[in-house]
Amino acid sequence: MPTVFTHIIDGRIPGTFVWRDERCVAFMSINPMAPGHTLVVPIAEVDHWVDGDPDLIAHLFEVTRIIGVAQKVAFGCERVGVILAGYEVPHTHVHVIPTNDMRELSFANAASSVDRADLESAAEAIRVELRRSGHEQVV
């Protein structure tokens, strides 16, 4: 049975994307801990990241780094935090979160809902920086 992320990747559920390549996508979290909170997700359904092909996992982390660099500029944050929890959806995903304090990296801070316009605004800020850096995978 396809995961909710597979439904988003395939366009059956709306997603606010900032990146797509042949191996992964990045889209905005609908329960963000901070503006710009992005998920980097492999297209292939891999339940636990430790079970992923090493080349795929390396690719995910390189895309995570690229997204993080764009977030740092777009949101003027002190740091970009990364979380791999893997409990909410059985499909590997990396949370990439612009932060100014360690306390911001808590799922207790996640918004229960967010306005679609706010998601799109944050996504566009990331896209602008990705394009400025010459990345063609921006969507």
pLDDT digits (tens, 9 = 90+) for 3-35: 999 999 999 999 999 999 999 999 999 999 999
pLDDT value for 1: 85
Does 35 reside within a domain? Answer: yes
For 91-116, the pLDDT digits (tens) are 999 999 999 999 999 999 999 999 99
Kindly state whether residue 94 falls inside one of the protein's structural domains. yes
139 lies in a domain? no
Q: Let me know if residue 23 belongs to a domain.
A: yes
**Could you tell me if 47 and 90 are in contact, meaning their C-beta atoms sit under 8 angstroms apart?**
yes
Q: Which of 10, 15, 138, 22 is nearest to 74 (CA)?
A: 138
Number of domains in the chain: 1
| Inter-residue contact 19 to 26 (CB < 8 Å) | yes
The reply to whether 75 falls in a domain is yes
pLDDT digits (tens, 9 = 90+) for 72-82: 999 999 999 99
Range of the domain at 50: 4-130
What is the helix (H) or strand (E) element at residue 66, kind and residue range? helix 54-75
| CATH classification at residue 45 | 3.30.428.10
User: By the 8 A CB rule, do 98 and 72 touch?
Assistant: yes
